[in-house]
Structure 1
Amino acid sequence: MERILITGGAGKVATLLRTGMRRPDRVLRLLDIRPPAPLPDDGGGAREEVVIGSLTDPHVLADALRGVDAVVHLGGQSRESDVRDVLESNMFGTYQLLEAARAAGVNRLVLASSNHAAGFQDRGQTGADGLLPADLPGRPDTLYGWSKVAMESCGQLYADRFGMDVVCLRIGLWFPKPPGLRGLALWLSPDDGVRLVEACLTVPSPGFRIVWGISRNTRRWWSLAEGEALGYHPVDDAEVFAQELIAQHGEPDFDKDPVLTRVGGQWCEIPLGVAY
Structure 2
Amino acid sequence: MPCHPTPLRFSRLLLTGAAGGLGAELRTRLKAYCDVLRLSDIADLGAPRAGEELRPARLEDAAAVHALLDGVEAVVHLGGVSTEQPWEPILQANIIGVYHLYEAARKQAVRRVVFASSNHVTGFYRQDEVVSPRDPARPDGLYGVSKAFGEDLSRFYFDRYGIETVCLRIGSSFPAPRNRRMLATWMSYDDLERLVVASLTAPVVGHSILYGMGDNTTTWWDNTPARHIGYRPQDSSEPFRAQVEAADPHPDLTDPATLYQGGPFVRTGPFE
Q: Same fold (TM over 0.5)?
A: yes
> What secondary structure does 2:229 align onto?
coil
**Larger CA deviation: 244-253 vs 176-185:** 244-253
CA distance in 1, matches of 2:243, 2:250: 11
Identify the residue that residue 218 of structure 1 maps to in structure 2: 217
- Counterparts of 1:225-244 in structure 2, within 5 Å, are 225-244=224-243
CA distance in 2, matches of 1:204, 1:256: 46
1:117 aligned to 112, 115, 121, which one? 121
Unaligned runs of 5+ residues in structure 2 are 1-9
Identify the residue that residue 185 of structure 2 maps to in structure 1: 186
Identify the residue that residue 265 of structure 1 maps to in structure 2: 263
Identify the residue that residue 58 of structure 2 maps to in structure 1: 54
In percent, how many aligned pairs have the same letter?
41
1:17 aligned to 7, 10, 26, which one? 26
Deviation at 1:249, TM superposition (A): 1.7
- Counterparts of 1:40-51 in structure 2, within 5 Å, are 46-51=50-55
2:73 maps to 1:34: no
Deviation at 1:273, TM superposition (A): 3.7
Deviations 1:61-111 (A, max 9, x none): 222111111001101111111111111110100000010011000010011
Q: Tell me if structure 2 keeps the 8 A contact 1:4–1:28.
A: yes
The amino acid that maps onto 1:100 is A
Identify the residue that residue 97 of structure 2 maps to in structure 1: 93
Deviation at 1:22, TM superposition (A): 2.5
CA distance in 2, matches of 1:263, 1:188: 15
Change (3 A) 1:234 1:225: same
2:17 aligned to 2, 8, 20, which one? 8
Unaligned runs of 5+ residues in structure 1 are 40-44, 127-131
Once superposed, what is the RMSD of the aligned Cα atoms?
A: 2.2
The amino acid that maps onto 2:40 is L
Deviations 1:114-153 (A, max 9, x none): 1111111225553xxxxx2123221111111111111111
CA distance in 2, matches of 1:199, 1:48: 22
Change (3 A) 1:181 1:124: closer
2:168 maps to 1:164: no
CA distance in 2, matches of 1:106, 1:148: 21
Deviation at 1:175, TM superposition (A): 1.3
Aligned length in residues = 263
CA distance in 2, matches of 1:247, 1:199: 35
